[in-house]
Structure 1
Amino acid sequence: MDKRSRDLVIPPDVVGAWEACPFREGVFNTVLFDPPHNVRSGGYDPRFAMHRKYGTWASKTEAIIAIVKAQEEFARLAPRLCFKWCNTRDGPTLWVLLPLFEFWREIHRRMEKTKGQGNVRGRTFWITFKRRDPQTALSI
């Protein structure tokens, strides 16, 4: 590492989990959901830098269930949900997760058009969902 570089550490104001979210409904304009993408049988292993830095799931099933529940909770907090997913060799792929979202066919159709444009490896995806009104589900 370059000796001239510095580490910037910004501690969070609030620490919480989506299971017991400390914020009231509709308090944010947009929520970014970037869950861990690594899955390892046995779960977290502190020997691996990726596990320490980004976290991990114990199984693909655990990842899928948690992502669905978190998506529902974050939809309550904001009219927009920005979901980031990176396909890894051992985690569930976006194609496994898409049917869990309400408008997955439309997402898939739009993503097919962009193949080969940017995203060279085709592994990282950003999807933004927006509620039409507070009483309805998220749309894209």
Structure 2
Amino acid sequence: MSAPVILDPCCGSRMMWFDKKHPAAVFGDLRSETLTVTDRSHGKPNGKRTLFITPDVRLDFRALPYVDDWFYLVAFDPPHLVRAGRRSWLAAKYGTLSRDWRADIRAGFAECFRVLRPNGTLVFKWNETQIKVREVLELSPYQPLFGNTAGKRNGTHWLVFMKPAGAAG
């Protein structure tokens, strides 16, 4: 098999993937763990849910271990919570940002664009329950090309970026 050409640097439990083992993708995350937390929203008698976070590579999205201009596609779905209970289902599912979340997201965008090939595509997913998407977009070096506008109702935005042809790694 050839080297992966798609990067998901914050894969978590790979919730958004239809093929959670897609051969063209490398799944990375800072966490590698199995978490069982209480979540009574799914009607299980014991109220417990288990989440498996099993990245191919343990990495920090703020300092990616890849060369410049490698990937054709980056799927960037960073943690979007700054407030969540330590053992909550949302914290387990999505992870949490540090107090300096702006620096984290700015570094994440910079790294994702660095490893993305010129004219490559970055798909960015953000839920604005706690932080508005407009605040996050101020941290990207590029503006999105397009995305969904239904986020105001459900809070989740999908935005598509293209790395400019002349941009350096």
With the length of structure 1 as denominator, give the TM-score of the two structures. Answer: 0.67
Q: Whose RCO is larger (CA < 8 A, sep 6+)?
A: 1
Residue 50 (str. 1) matches residue 90 (str. 2): yes
Give the AA of the match of 1:85: W
Q: Aligned residue for 1:70?
A: 108
CA positional deviation for 1:119: 4.9
Task: Name the aligned partner's letter for residue 129 of structure 1.
Answer: F
Q: Which residue of 1 aligns with 2:167?
A: 136
Residue 131 of structure 1: how far off its partner (Å): 1.9
Structure 1 consecutive aligned stretches of length 4 or more whose deviation exceeds 4 Å: 7-10
* 1:24 CA displacement: 1.5
Q: 1:126 to 1:25 in 2, by over 3 A?
A: same
Alignment gaps of 5+ in structure 2 = 1-41, 44-49
Q: How does 1:1-140 map to 2 (within 5 A)?
A: 11-40=54-83, 45-59=85-99, 62-78=100-116, 79-88=120-129, 91-104=130-143, 115=149, 118-119=150-151, 121-133=153-165, 135-136=166-167
Name the aligned partner's letter for residue 128 of structure 1: V
Q: Does structure 1 retain, via aligned residues, the 8 Å contact 2:63–2:111?
A: no
Structure 2: which amino acid aligns with 1:99? E
Counterpart contact for 1:45–1:52, Cα < 8 Å: no
Which one has the bigger strand percentage? Answer: 2
Provide structure 1 residue ranges, at least 5 long, that are not aligned to the other structure: none
1: CA distance between counterparts of 2:91 and 2:53? 20
Query: Does the 8 Å CA contact 1:64/1:92 hold for their aligned counterparts?
Result: no
Count of residue correspondences: 119
Identity %: 31
What TM-score comes out, normalization by structure 2 length? Answer: 0.57
Look up the equivalent residue of 1:20 and give its one-letter code. Answer: A
State whether residues 35 and 85 of structure 1, in contact with CA within 8 Å, keep that contact through their aligned partners in structure 2: yes
Higher-helix-fraction structure: 1
**What are the superposed Cα offsets for residues 50-74 of structure 1, whole Å, 9 maximum, x if unpaired?**
1122111243xx2221111110011
Which amino acid is 2:110 matched to? E
